[in-house]
A and B are shown apart, each in its own frame.
Chain A
Amino acid sequence: MLAYLVQMASFAAITALMALGLDLIWGLGGMANLGLAGSAAVGAYAAALLGVKLGVAWPLAWLAAALLAAGSGAILAGLTARLRGDYLAIVTLGFAEVMQLAASNEVWLTGGTGGIPGVPAPWRGSLHGLAFDAAFAALAWGLVVVAALLLARLGAAPFGRVLRAIREDDTVAAVAGKRVLRFKVRAFAAGSALVGLAGALGAALEGFVAPDSFSALLTLTVVLALCAGGPGGVWGALLGGVLVTALTEATRFAADALPAVSAVQAAALRQGMIALALILILHLRPAGILPERPRAIPKELR
C-alpha cells in the first residue's frame, strides 16, 4: 500500500509539472495548447533514446528533452501566434497526432508500437523497491517545487505582467509597445519545456516508453488538472495534478469493482469519466478551485 502511494506521488508530480507548463502557456499566455501529449512524447523519446542508445547520463538527457520540446513548441507558436487562437488549437492537436504517428512508425528509431524498454532512471541500479520509488518521488516533487517557484517569480515579474496583458487583449499590449509575438513564442517554448521534462520523468519512472501513452487522453488529463486546480496561479496546477491522479486511480478501482462490465467497457468508462469531468469543470468552475486573484495595484500607482 505504501509503495503504491509513493508511486502515485510520482505520477502526481509528473501531472503537476505538465500542468505548470500548460499554466504558463494557457493560464498566463491565454494560448490554447491541445498538443501537450506531443511535447511530452518529444521529451520522453528524447530522454529514452539518449539514455538507451547513447548512454547519456540522466540529467543531461532530461535537459535535452526539455530543450527539444521547447524548440518544437517555439516553432508551433511562431507559425500560429499571429492568427486567432483557434488555429493554434488545430495545429497543436495535429502536432500531437503526428508525433504519435512517428513514434508508432519509425520502428528503426523508436521500436514502433513495442516501444523502448530499459530507460535509465536516477538510482535505478543502486536503490530498489520502496527506496527507489521514494527517491524518485522526492526528486520529481523537488523539480515541481523548483518549476513552481520559477513560475511564481515569472508571473510576478514584468514578463508575467506582459503575458497577462496579452492574454486579456493583445492589441492593447501591442499598442503599449510590447512585442506580442516574441512574448507568446517564449512563453510557449518555456511551457513546452516543462511538459517535455515531465515526459522524460515519466519515461524514467516507467522504465519504458510506447506511443500509446501519448494520446489525446494525456492532453485532456493535464487540461483537466489545470482547469480543476485553477489556471493563472501556481497552486492550482499543483492541486490539480494531485486531484487528477487521485481521480484516475479512483476510477480504476471503481471500474474494476463493477460487475458485468468487460475490460474494454471498464476502460471506456474511465476515459469517458475524464472527458465528462473536464466538460463539467469548464461549466461549473471555469476559474478552478483556486482561482487566480487579480494582483494588487502597486502603491505608487494608487
Chain B
Amino acid sequence: MIAIAQAIVNGVLAGAALAVPAIAFTTIFAVLRFANFAVAGFATLGAYGGWLVNTRLGVPAVPALLGACVAGGAAAVIVDEAALKGLRRRIRPGEAALAPAIASVAATLLLENVARFLFGNDPQGYDLPVFRDWHIGALAVGPQQLADAAIALVAMTALFLFLGFTRAGRTMRAVADNPGLAALKGIDAARVGRIATFAAGALAGLGGMLIGFDTSLDPLLGFRVMLSVFAAAVVGGLGSIPGAVAGAFVVGLGEEMATLVVDPAYRTAVGFAAILIVLSLRPAGLFGERTA
C-alpha cells in the first residue's frame, strides 16, 4: 500500500518534469505540423548550457535554468533555420511531413555529438545543495524533485499566460488552428513559427536541465527520455498542449507504477506501451482532434 502511494507521489513529480519537453514537442507539431524529434537534442544542449552557467560561472542552479532556456531555444532556431525549414516547405498540404521528421532525427544525433565532442561521455553533475528527503508519514519526498515540479509548473503557467493573453501567443494559436485563415488575416506564419520554435527549444532545454538535476548529465540525456516525452504528447493528443500536460502525468504515473511489477530498466518501455494502447483505442489521444 505504502509502495503504491509512494509510486503515485513519484509519478506525479516525474510527470511534472516530463510535461515541459512534451509541451515543446507538441507545440512544434501544432504550429509547424511535423514531428520534431530534435527536441531530444535541444533538451541535451539546454542541459549543458545550464550546466556551464551553473558550474563555470558559479550561478546558483535555479537562475542557471535561464541559461538552459537560452541554449535550448538557440539550438532549436538554428537547427530549424538551417536544416528543417527548407524541407518543410516542400511538403504538400495534408501530407505527413516525413523528410523534416527524418532530418530532425539526424539533427538530434548531430547535437548529441556536438555535446560529446565538447564535453565527453562522462556524466557531469550540477552544483546543487544536497537535501535530505522529507518524510510525510511513511512517504519520502525529495525536496529537489518537489522544487523541479514547482519550476515545471511555473514554466507551464507562464506558457499558458503567453498563449492566452499576449498578441504573439494568440497569433500562434491562430496559426495552429487554421493556417490559411491566419495568413488571410495578415499573420506572418514564418515569424510565428520562429517564435514557437524558440519557445519550444527553451522549454525543452529547461526540461532537459530539470531531468539532469534528477539523474546526471551526459550526451544521451535527451535521447533517454525521448520515448517518454513522445508518449506523453501522443497520449494527450499530438498538437494539444493541455493534452501533453495530461499525457505527461499519465506516462509519469504509469512508469512509476510499472516499476512496482517490472524491472525499472523498462520504465521507458511503458511509454511505448502507452503509445500503442492509445493508438489502438483512441488515436486522437485524450485531448486531440487532428489525426488524419
Chain A interface residues toward B at CB < 8 A: 26, 30, 32, 34, 79-80, 82-87, 89-91, 93-95, 97-98, 101-102, 104-105, 216-217, 219-220, 223, 262, 264-265, 267-269, 271-272, 274-276, 278-279, 282-283, 286
Contacts and interface: CB of A to CB of B under 8 A. Distances in A.
Given A32-B98, A34-B105, A286-B99, A83 B113 contact: no
Contact of B35 (A80, A89, A216, A272): A89
5 contacts: A32-B102, A219-B105, A267-B116, A271-B109, A286-B90
Contacts of A269: 113, 117
A214 B136 CA distance: 44
Interface of B: 29, 34-35, 37, 83, 86-87, 90, 95-99, 101-103, 105-110, 112-114, 116-117, 120-121, 223, 226-227, 230-231, 234, 238, 263, 265-266, 268-269, 271-272, 275-276, 279-280, 283, 291-292
A282 B103 contact: yes
A93 B102 CA distance: 10
Contact of A101 (B101, B103, B117, B269): B269
B109 A84 contact: no
B5 to A, nearest CB: 27
A274 B265 contact: no
Contact of B279 (A87, A264, A278): A87
Contacts of B230: 90, 93-94
Classify the secondary structure of B's interface with A.
helix
Contacts of B106: 220, 274-276, 278-279, 282
Nearest to A105: B265
A279 B87 CA distance: 10
B149 to A, nearest CB: 25
B227 A282 contact: no
Contacts, number: 138
Contacts of B96: 32, 84-86, 89
A23 to B, nearest CB: 14
A276 to B, nearest CB: 6
A264 B116 contact: yes
Identify whether the interface residues of A are mostly helix, strand, loop, or mixed: helix
A265 B113 CA distance: 8
A83 B279 contact: yes
A90 B117 contact: no
Contacts of A268: 113-114, 116-117
B98 A85 contact: yes
B35 A275 contact: no
Nearest to B101: A89
Given A83-B283, A86-B97, A269-B117, A223 B37 contact: no
Contacts of A89: 35, 37, 96, 98, 101-102
A223 B108 CA distance: 15
B27 to A, nearest CB: 15
A90 B234 CA distance: 9
A265 B35 contact: no
Nearest to B110: A275
A283 B269 contact: no
B103 A278 contact: yes
A275 B109 contact: yes
Contacts of A84: 96, 291-292
Contacts of A82: 283
Select the residue from A80, A91, A216, A223 with max chain B CB neighbours within 10 A. A216
Given A90-B230, A283-B86, A223 B109 contact: no
Nearest to A217: B109
A101 B113 contact: no
A265 B117 contact: yes
B279 A79 contact: yes
B282 to A, nearest CB: 12
Contacts of A86: 29, 34-35, 96-98, 101, 238
B107 A279 contact: yes
A216 B110 CA distance: 12
| Most-contacted residue by chain B among A30, A217, A276 (CB, 10 A) | A276
Contacts of B107: 275, 279
B279 A91 contact: yes
Contacts of A34: 101-102, 105
Contacts of A90: 35, 230, 234, 275
Contacts of A282: 87, 99, 102-103, 106
Contacts of A279: 83, 103, 106-107, 110
A104 B110 contact: no
Q: What are the 8 closest A-B residue pairs judged by CB atoms, nearest first? A: A85-B96, A272-B113, A268-B116, A275-B109, A275-B110, A268-B117, A268-B113, A275-B106
Nearest to B98: A32
Given A32-B96, A87-B279, A101-B265, A278 B227 contact: no
A289 B230 CA distance: 34
Contacts of A91: 275-276, 279
A90 B101 CA distance: 9
Contacts of A223: 102
A82 B265 CA distance: 32
B166 to A, nearest CB: 28
A216 B234 contact: no
Given A97-B272, A271-B113, A279-B106, 8 more contacts: A85-B95, A91-B275, A93-B37, A93-B105, A101-B266, A105-B265, A220-B109, A271-B116
Contact of B109 (A93, A101, A105, A274): A274
